[in-house]
Amino acid sequence: MKPDTAQRVDFAALAEPQFLPAVPSANPPTWLGVMGGGQLGRMFAQAAQQMGYQVVVLEPAADCPAGQVAQRLINAGYTDGPALDELVAQCAAVTTEFENVPADSLARLAQQIFVAPNAAGVSVAQDRIAEKTFFVGCAEKSGVLPAPHKVIASQADIDAIGDELLPGILKTVRMGYDGKGQVRVASREDVRAAFESMGGVTCLLEKMLPLAYEISVLTARGVDGQSVVYPIAENVHRDGILFTTTVPGPNVSIECAQKAQAAATAFVAELGYVGVLCIEFFVLTDGSLVVNEMAPRPHNSGHYTMDACITSQFAQQVRAMARLPLGDVRQHSPAVMLNILGDVWFEGETYREPSWDKVVALPGANLHLYGKDDPRPGRKMGHVTFVGHTLDDAQRQFEAACAILGIAP
């Protein structure tokens, strides 16, 4: 079956004009801007400051993780004209820390200062139809395809679903993340009910495939066209939220890794992309590779790079947006990253502070908390990366931490 997608777009042709390098300076200070105030913005700011930059964050929420560490917080919405003008006036370059920042705002900024990633690349990741269209259009160069899929925008679309697409997963076209906006469906009646429960917004039905495991490929591309790819990460999800990332992936073959890395390189080149991009793939039970989705920013599955690689994904984002040479992506230690959700602050209905002293006492444990003061079940509060001389060493400490925190490993 041919995927139900639109005509291919030349995204690389939409790239913004180039500007002079944003070399770090102490006097006057060189400022970098971040659209978004979450934990990714926080870790980006810390990496930028380590390299000698000052950071300004634009974020509508006054108390946000990135705003706690940045030199300046512009407390405004992402489409606020005067706030965007302030970024232009102060910054040498601007990036985004999550994909749902309006692409139009990035395009407006790019008329006067350097923006990475560009609006065109971000807009693709914001819309599942555009994303699938891009993957299909790039298949000859990347060597991979997405799962068979169909746009669902009306009851007539549901009536026309082919039997080969079921069972599947119905996903909203926009604003879905961490398992939100997704429903498993086994029949047309299930699709109809799910479509109505989502308010009749345009959705994408994706065929469920025989999944062996999921991998993510973290890549970065510089303004000069150079690209680098980090070691392949193997992910485990629980309730739609990333639970662990293990690198090197214990099930990832050399052939699979090479194919995924080649595909990632093709994607960033085709997009004319500058910055860090994470691409998620499914590895099927027959060993074949299927591209799932991409995130135009540093990614949860790349947090291990902060403690296990020469250059972290956040330092890499700084380098790319500042038009500096990209950093070394070699991994110096095997690693297991554990996401910390708000659930660990509760034992039943009882609130309790987790035993961080016992966690950090574990060999190779690196704790990163995001400065959020309202733990809630399912909310990302931090992560711990366990590094070791061997992957078995890291996995043993991961299991010990799960026992301390009351998490089923």
- Position 177 scores a pLDDT of 60
| Residue 41 structure tokens | 């913005």
- Give the H or E element holding residue 172: strand 168-172
Q: What class is the 211-405 domain? A: alpha beta
Q: Is 179 a known ligand-binding residue?
A: yes
Q: For the chain, which residues score pLDDT lower than 50?
A: 1-9, 11-16
Q: Is 372 a known ligand-binding residue?
A: no
Q: Is 395 a known ligand-binding residue?
A: no
> Given the DSSP bridges, would you call strands 72-74 and 54-58 parallel, antiparallel or unpaired?
parallel
Q: Which of 371, 254, 361, 229 is nearest to 305 (CA)?
A: 229
DSSP code for 28: T
Q: Is 207 a known ligand-binding residue?
A: yes
Q: Is 177 a known ligand-binding residue?
A: yes
Q: Is 214 a known ligand-binding residue?
A: yes
Listed in order, the ranges of the chain carrying CATH 3.30.1490.20 are 148-207
Listed in order, the ranges of the chain carrying CATH 3.30.470.20 are 211-405
- Position 98 scores a pLDDT of 87
Q: How far is CA 306 from CA 78, 205, 316, 330, 362, in A?
A: 28, 36, 11, 12, 18
Q: Is 358 a known ligand-binding residue?
A: no
- Position 161 scores a pLDDT of 95
- Position 409 scores a pLDDT of 84
186-202 per-position pLDDT tens digit: 999 999 999 999 999 99
Listed in order, the ranges of the chain carrying CATH 3.40.50.20 are 14-126
Q: Is 370 a known ligand-binding residue?
A: no
Q: Is 176 a known ligand-binding residue?
A: yes
| Residue 192 structure tokens | 């109809």
Name 375's Cβ contacts closer than 8 Å, sequence gap at least 6. 342, 344, 345, 346, 351, 381
- Position 18 scores a pLDDT of 56
Radius of gyration of the chain from its Cα atoms, rounded to whole angstroms:
21
Question: Which CATH fold would you assign to the domain 14-126?
Answer: Rossmann fold (3.40.50)
Q: Is 222 a known ligand-binding residue?
A: no
Helix axes 254-271, 119-126, angle to 10 degrees: 120
Residues in the chain, total = 409
Strand order in the sheet with 93-96: 72-74, 54-58, 31-35, 93-96, 114-115
- Position 15 scores a pLDDT of 46
Q: Is 16 a known ligand-binding residue?
A: no
The architecture of the domain spanning 148-207 is 2-Layer Sandwich (3.30)
Q: Is 132 a known ligand-binding residue?
A: no
| Residue 23 structure tokens | 């070399």
162-195 per-position pLDDT tens digit: 999 999 999 999 876 655 678 999 999 999 999 9
